[in-house]
Structure 1
Amino acid sequence: MTDPKAPAYAPADPDGDLASLRGDCARMVPHWAAPERTPPAPVSPARLHGVTVPPASARLLDAMPDYGG
């Protein structure tokens, strides 16, 4: 139950607050157009010349399941 002596609204923060910013953003969403998301084209390994990887970095990546074995 609300307090009948409490003001009906909170005074606005002149600098704004997170809630008002989120509300402004939510109202602006229909006006923003997001660019189409296109995945980058894969690069052929034959085009990679002069790339050197330090042995420690190669071992680190080789130990990661996402990149190595």
Structure 2
Amino acid sequence: MTNLELHAPAPAGLEGDLEGDLASLRGDCARMVPHWSAPERVVSLPVPPSLIHGVTVPPRSARLLDAMSEYGD
């Protein structure tokens, strides 16, 4: 994974105020709301086990889950 560092100048008037206040944070969030749109509803369909590949469970974890009554009985 690449760690990209971006350096941009601070907005005018905020050079010395790195923390800001709650009001400015709420304003920033309000301006970002249009960028955070989400679908009304996401419907997940079941996946057949034949399509699940590459999932491995360490034997120790499998034994732990097997010993828990709510997971295997």
Coarse TM-score class (shorter-chain normalised):
0.3 to 0.5
Larger Rg: 1
User: Which structure features the higher share of helix residues?
Assistant: 2
Normalised TM-score (structure 1):
0.44
